[in-house]
Structure 1
Amino acid sequence: MTGRRLVVAVTLAALLAGCGIPTDDTARPVTPPRGPFPTVASTDATVPAGSAAEILCLLRDNRIVPVLRRVERPPTVEEHLRHLLAGPTTTERDDGLTSALAGAVTAAGATVTDAEARVVVDEPGHDVGRSDEVLAFGQIVCTLTSRDDVATVTFLRDGKPLGVPRADGSLTERPLTRTDFAPLIVPQ
């Protein structure tokens, strides 16, 4: 039976050698198929990162400058305000952008009702050393009214309307718009 095993082994080897991919003596170039190739992220039905626009109003040379940031999804009014309060990114700072908010205005939160953003402002701390409240309030108004769901901004402290300075230096408790700070805003 050893002869029979040898015949079976040789026959099996011959059959297996005839199957599969032939080998080449040298490497040959392969042209990859055309992409892009779908990935889990690109086939996901959610909004891709950076597809939503967010306008933040920062400062350059004591002027309000609207800056476009790309975000994963449209932020809530609370998130939008928080992004503004965080100040410019390193890249934005390198581009000469700053903020008057640190030390001038401490916004504790915001809500929107009937296209009016209501921003709660805390009592300023002692020795804040800032005199640019007009720019700080202007940054908030400019930023929040860049949203589709906000037409005006009102500031509150302890549940009551807060008198805030406008670009002309006058104080007002009424709802504010970009127009109140237009002389300070760099045109887009």
Structure 2
Amino acid sequence: MIVRRIAVVLPALFVLSGCGVPVQDEPHPITLPRRPLNVTSSAAASTDPVGEVAQVLCLIRDSRLVQTVRRADAVPTPQRQLDLLAAGPNLPEQQQGLTTALATTTLTVTLPPGSTTAAVEVTETDEGAGRSDEVLAYGQIVCTLTSRADIAGVTFQREGRSLQVPRGDGTLSGSPLRAADYRSLIGPL
């Protein structure tokens, strides 16, 4: 019985020890490929947009929130990402029928150290205008910011006072909002 166990264990040890991976005393860093392994570098270079970091912006098509990805060389700050969102779609995005509900809005975001809830100060340049796309505007902001790994929720304020803003179902909330609060408005690409 013992001989059988040794006969099974011993070959298994030889197979495991002979796999070609040298034994090391300490871990060491490795560099992973930046492109899929099954794509040649020339094919990947011709199809990948410029930049190594994906940044998500939530724009609008046919009264639905649509996530679009832009590439950048570095991770943008939350403020930079909101500035890009407020600026609206670039030419290729416009050609895909994407728009924004934030054209007349100035946004300032703060993310306190150690917090995952961003506070967005909203100032409309034309505050007397009634907006029919208010839910989409707030949804754009929330979906864009919560696509980041460092932000889990978004609150809104005007002149430092907390705002209650509409969720996707039309109800008002002053609590931190997440993309799930606008799930009914999120459409396919």
User: TM-score, normalising length from structure 1?
Assistant: 0.69
Q: 1:54, 1:79 → 2: CA distance? A: 10
Tell me what 2:148 maps to: 147
Q: Tell me how large the CA RMSD over aligned residues is.
A: 1.8
Q: 1:124, 1:162 → 2: CA distance? A: 17
Q: 1:115, 1:187 → 2: CA distance? A: 27
Give 1:124 shift: 5.6
Q: 2:107, 2:91 → 1: CA distance? A: 24
Larger radius of gyration: 1
Q: 1:50, 1:126 → 2: CA distance? A: 37
Q: Percent identity?
A: 50
- Whichever residue aligns with residue 85 of structure 1, its letter is A
Q: 1:61, 1:185 → 2: CA distance? A: 11
Tell me what 1:61 maps to: 62
Tell me what 1:41 maps to: none
For the 8 Å contact 1:123–1:157, the answer to whether it is kept is: no
Q: Indicate the SS of the match to 1:101.
A: coil
Please list every run of 5 or more consecutive structure 2 residues that lacks an aligned counterpart in the other structure. Answer: 1-40, 42-49
Tell me what 2:108 maps to: 109
Give matches, 1:39-58, under 5 Å: 50-58=51-59
For the 8 Å contact 1:55–1:67, the answer to whether it is kept is: yes
The aligned length equals 139
Tell me what 1:157 maps to: 158
Please list every run of 5 or more consecutive structure 1 residues that lacks an aligned counterpart in the other structure. Answer: 1-35, 37-48
Q: 1:123, 1:117 → 2: CA distance? A: 19
Tell me what 1:89 maps to: 90
Q: 1:169, 1:124 → 2: CA distance? A: 23
For the 8 Å contact 2:106–2:124, the answer to whether it is kept is: no
For the 8 Å contact 2:135–2:168, the answer to whether it is kept is: yes
For the 8 Å contact 2:83–2:107, the answer to whether it is kept is: no
User: TM-score, normalising length from structure 2?
Assistant: 0.69
